């Protein structure tokens, strides 16, 4: 029986520690679903402080920052790894806060198979944000209308939206090559949450700790490689404000304040995304014994080999 366990939620809720704990308990392996942890060299600013463990953790440190890794490539790799874990009679434990990555595993998303158009990107990545917005409005107004405010202000997301819109225009009769869904018999989605005042406090402490660990040095080294500012890796929270500090445009205190604000907004966006998914079973990490409650829920699901739980979500 192909079972899939997902641990998701906003940043700073302890997803990785919980994932490793559950993987040890239920003979599993971790598959990361973090769009920034795929990049080598972005260790401190992305919080890639993985605890020492004998549990395999897949899809971490797989590409360099100058590689424009995308959700389509993630989905292909994740599907192969999950099938491999199943073939060895182990439990895949998906851990992360990138909602679209998780969705590419749990659901069928046709746009993930649309490949990057390098020629198009080379031309339009020089555009201003405003020109990219106009290009998308002209190319696919309906797609523009569906974008949220954050995506409309994000040049990388705008470029991808234009890319998808043009692909649809030019391949109207060739859209059947979709990534086959995983043969999931039963999945359990565990969500970690925390009241915002406590979550923001944890986030702020993490940012301060990353500064102490050498985040400024890490960003300085990345800047020295003259990467394109449109690379997905360089949209990581913390990169821009620390770049502003390094280039003398603002003080370290202001850069840290901006970084914390970015992390707060990112956590809000994560919660907005995940709250829409009614399959997720939520646990508040500020409550006593929440780990025990999660373990009990997972054990109930994991040991249920009956047909009652096949081909459905376990809530």
Alpha helices per DSSP H over the chain: 15-25, 71-87, 99-106, 118-124, 129-139, 141-146, 149-152, 155-170, 196-213, 215-223, 239-246, 252-275, 290-302
CA distance 17 to 95: 10
Cα–Cα distance list, 2 to 51, 80, 89, 108, 229 (Å): 27, 14, 9, 17, 41
> Does the annotation flag 12 for ligand binding?
yes
Identify the three-state secondary structure at position 191. strand
Residue indicated by tokens 């502003």: 244
> Does the annotation flag 64 for ligand binding?
no
CA distance 140 to 166: 8
Cβ 48 vs Cβ 215: under 8 Å: no
> Does the annotation flag 14 for ligand binding?
yes
The helix-helix angle for 196-213 and 252-275 (nearest 10°) equals: 130
The dihedrals phi and psi of 53, each to the nearest 5 degrees, come to -160, 155
Beta-sheet pairing, 280-284 with 28-32: unpaired
> Does the annotation flag 165 for ligand binding?
no
Cβ 192 vs Cβ 33: under 8 Å: no
Please give the span between the terminal C-alpha atoms of the chain, in angstroms, as a whole number. Answer: 18
CA distance 165 to 151: 15
> Does the annotation flag 11 for ligand binding?
yes
The dihedrals phi and psi of 281, each to the nearest 5 degrees, come to -100, 115
> Does the annotation flag 19 for ligand binding?
no
Residues placed in the known binding site = 9-16
Which residues fall in the annotated binding site for substrate? 11-16
Binding residues for ATP: 9-16
């Amino acid at each position: 029986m192909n079972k899939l366990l997902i641990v998701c939620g906003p940043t700073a809720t302890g997803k990785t520690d919980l994932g490793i704990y559950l993987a040890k308990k239920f003979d599993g392996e971790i598959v990361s679903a973090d769009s920034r942890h795929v990049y080598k060299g972005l260790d401190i600013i992305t919080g890639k402080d993985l605890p020492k463990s004998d549990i395999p953790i897949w899809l971490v440190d797989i590409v360099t920052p100058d590689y424009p890794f995308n959700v389509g490539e993630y989905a292909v790799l994740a599907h192969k790894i999950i099938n491999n874990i199943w073939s060895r009679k182990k439990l895949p434990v998906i851990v992360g806060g990138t909602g679209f990555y998780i969705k590419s595993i749990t659901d069928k998303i046709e746009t993930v198979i649309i490949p990057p158009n390098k020629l198009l990107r080379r031309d339009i990545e020089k555009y201003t944000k405003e020109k990219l917005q106009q290009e998308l409005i002209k190319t696919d107004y309906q797609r523009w209308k569906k974008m949220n405010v954050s995506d409309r202000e994000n040049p990388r997301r705008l470029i991808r939206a234009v890319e998808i819109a043009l692909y649809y225009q030019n391949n109207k009769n060739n859209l059947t090559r979709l990534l086959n869904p995983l043969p999931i018999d039963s999945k359990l989605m565990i969500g970690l949450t925390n009241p915002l005042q406590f979550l923001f406090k944890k986030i702020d402490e993490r940012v301060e700790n990353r500064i102490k660990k050498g985040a400024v040095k890490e960003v300085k080294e990345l800047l020295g490689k003259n990467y394109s500012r449109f690379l997905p890796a360089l949209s990581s929270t913390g990169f821009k404000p620390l770049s502003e500090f390094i280039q003398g445009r603002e003080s370290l205190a202001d850069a840290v304040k901006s970084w914390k604000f970015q992390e707060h907004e990112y956590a809000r966006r994560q919660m907005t995304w995940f709250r829409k998914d009614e399959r997720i079973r939520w646990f508040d990490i500020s409550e006593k014994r929440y780990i025990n409650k999660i373990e009990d829920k997972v054990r109930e699901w994991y040991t249920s080999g009956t047909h009652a739980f096949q081909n459905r979500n376990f809530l």
